[in-house]
Structure 1
Amino acid sequence: MRSKEKSMQRIVSSVTELLTQGELDKLTIGDITNHCHMTRQLFYHYFKDKYDVVAWIYKNDFQNLIDQIPDYITYQDLLLEVLHLLKSKQLFYGHALQSKDYNALSTIMITHINLILSCYIRRSVTDVPQDQLNFLIDFYSHGAVRCLTELLTSLISFHEDQLSEWLIDTLPYSIRSQILKCKIKSADLLVSF
C-alpha cells in the first residue's frame, strides 16, 4: 500500500471508529487527527472536511457491495444488500445520518437512492408521466432515508428482509410491479454514483 493510501486509510479508520462513539456534528478535525496521529494539514491534503470522509466511506462501501454482486440484480435484492451493509455498520451510519449539515450523508444517500431508483424506472416503467415519476422518486428517496436514519439511530435490531419488503411496499403500485421484474446490470449502478 502506498503512503497516500495508508494515510487515507488511517483517517478513514479513525472516523469510522470515532463515529461508533458519537455524532458526526460533534466530531472535530482535531479529534480525527489526534486519533490517527496526523497533522491537520495532512488531513486536508486528502479530504475537504469530515463530511467528505464519510461520503468517501459510503461510496467505498457501496462500491465494494456492487463488486460482490453478479452481473444483474433486482431493486429488491439490491435494497436487501444495502440494508445488510447499513446494519453491519449500524453505529457508524446511524451517527453519520444524524448530521444536519448540508454536506451530510443523508443528502448524498437521497441523491443516490434517487439515481438508482431512476435507473430501474427508466428501464421498466413506461406508462406513468415523467413529472409524476420524478415526484414519486424524490418523495420515496427522502422518506426512505428519513426512516433509515431513525431506525439506525434507535439502535433497535431490525430484520433486513422485513424492512426491504416494507420499503418495496411503499412504492406506488403503478410502478412497483414493473420495477420488481426489472434487473439492472451491477456496473450500471456505479455509473449513477
Structure 2
Amino acid sequence: MTGSLITQKKIAKVFKQLVIEIGFEKVTIAKIMLASGMRRQTFYDYFQDKYELVDWIFRQEAIEKIEDNLAYEGWEIIVENLLKYFEENQVFYRKVLFFDGQNSFQEYYTRHLEALIHQVLVLKKIENEEVEQSDHQFLEEFYANAFVTLTIKWLLSGCKVSAELFARKMKLAFLMGFEEKTK
C-alpha cells in the first residue's frame, strides 16, 4: 500500500468516525485533520472537499465489492456482500444519504449497479434475445434505480431485516422480473 493510500484511508477513517459522532453537516476539514493529527493542507492534497471524500470512501469500500468481483463472483454473492457492507456501515451511510449533487451516494451507487445489472441480464440471456439496445439500457437503469431506492429505504429503516434476507428478496425480485422474458 502506498503512502498516499495510507494517508487517504486514515483521513477517511477519521471522517467516518466524526460523521457517526457529530453528523455530516457538522464535520469540517479542520475537525477531520485535527482528529487525524495531520496538517490541513494534507487533506487538500487528496480531496477537494468532504463531498469528494464521501465519494472516495464509497468507491474505495463499496464499489470495489461490485467491480472487483464481477469477473469471478456470481451476482447474487456480490449483492449479498454489498448489502453486508452497508449493514456494517449503516450509521455512516444514513448520515450521508441526504446530500445531492454530482457526488451523491445515490448517483454513484446507481451508476455502478448498472454494471452489475448488465451482468445479470447477460446471465439471463436477455442480450441474446431480440431486445433492442435502448430496451436493454432501460432495463439496466430501471433495476439499478429500483435497487438503489430499496437499499436506501432499508438503510434508513435501520436495516430491520438482515443483509442476507434483504439480498434474498432482491434476488427474488430480479429473477421474477426476468423469468417471463427468458421463457
- Report the TM range for the smaller structure's normalisation: 0.7 to 0.9
Q: How do 1:103-122 and structure 2 match up within 5 A?
A: 103-122=103-122
Inter-CA distance 65–178: structure 2 relative to 1 (3 Å threshold): farther
Greater shift, 44-53 or 62-71, is seen at 62-71
How many residues are matched? 179
Q: How many Å apart are 1:46 and its aligned residue?
A: 1.0
- Higher relative contact order structure (alpha carbons within 8 Å, sequence separation ≥ 6): 1
Query: Is residue 161 of structure 2 the alignment partner of residue 150 of structure 1?
Result: no
* Superimposed CA distance per residue, residues 126-172 of structure 1 (whole angstroms, 9 cap, x where no aligned partner): 22332222112112212221221222123243222221122223337
Q: How do 1:1-193 and structure 2 match up within 5 A?
A: 3-62=3-62, 65=65, 72-123=72-123, 124-125=125-126, 126-127=128-129, 128-171=131-174, 173=176, 175=178
The TM-score normalised by the length of structure 2 is: 0.79
Q: Percent identity?
A: 21
Question: Is the CA contact 1:20–1:91 (under 8 Å) kept in the aligned structure 2?
Answer: yes
Separation of aligned partners in 1, 2:119 and 2:70: 17
Separation of aligned partners in 1, 2:148 and 2:111: 10
- SS at structure 2 position matched to 1:171: helix
Q: Which blocks of at least 5 consecutive residues in structure 2 are unaligned?
A: none
- SS at structure 1 position matched to 2:160: coil
Q: How many Å apart are 1:69 and its aligned residue?
A: 6.3
Greater shift, 59-68 or 160-169, is seen at 59-68
Q: Which blocks of at least 5 consecutive residues in structure 1 are unaligned?
A: 180-193
* Superimposed CA distance per residue, residues 23-61 of structure 1 (whole angstroms, 9 cap, x where no aligned partner): 434433233223223333210101122222222222222
Separation of aligned partners in 2, 1:77 and 1:57: 21
Question: Is the CA contact 1:24–1:96 (under 8 Å) kept in the aligned structure 2?
Answer: yes
The TM-score normalised by the length of structure 1 is: 0.75
